[in-house]
Amino acid sequence: MKRYLTGLALVTTVMTPGAATRAYAHHSFAATYLETQNVTVEGELVEFLFRNPHSFVQLKVTEKDGTMVRYAVEWGGIGQLGQQGVTRDTFKPGDHLVISGAPGRNPEDHRVRMVSLLRPRDGFSWGHRPNEKVD
């Protein structure tokens, strides 16, 4: 397990002038996340909270200094993910996942808004098709 891009210098800054509009619910993502930045976290699934209005992927990540940190990755709600084939049983605790997304505005939250997900074991992925965006 390894966490990528922890420092500011390693944070990939992605300008997104061409991003199409999306419908968000529950809260403002712009106020919650640094949407012009992107981070990648990699670790083992602690819990998949499949729920409304947004689901959460709780990931156990080993920091560079060896400490273990639990990350909360915000994802779509039940309706949206369900239409894309994601169910409550798609993941099991311990699944090794690689997740990219926008980091939270408060670093102490260890929070990420899901942009893409990969499970290397079987190649399951999300976020690469046009409709796979967090609404």
Q: What are phi and psi of 82, to 5 degrees?
A: -60, -40
Return the residue of 101, 110, 114, 115 that touches other proteins, per CB under 8 A.
Answer: 110
Q: Does 8 bind other proteins (CB under 8 A)?
A: no
16 near other proteins, judged by CB under 8 A: yes
Closest CA to 61 of 3, 114, 105: 3
Residue 12 DSSP SS3: strand
Taking CB under 8 A as the criterion, which residues in 40-79 touch other proteins? Answer: 49, 51-53, 56, 58, 70, 72, 77, 79
**Shortest Å distance, C-beta 59 to other proteins:** 11
Q: Is 29 in the site for other proteins (CB under 8 A)?
A: yes
Task: Give the torsion sign (CA, 118, 130, 88, 4).
Answer: positive
Instruction: Enumerate binding residues for other proteins (CB under 8 A).
Output: 15-32, 35-36, 49, 51-53, 56, 58, 70, 72, 77, 79, 104-106, 108-111
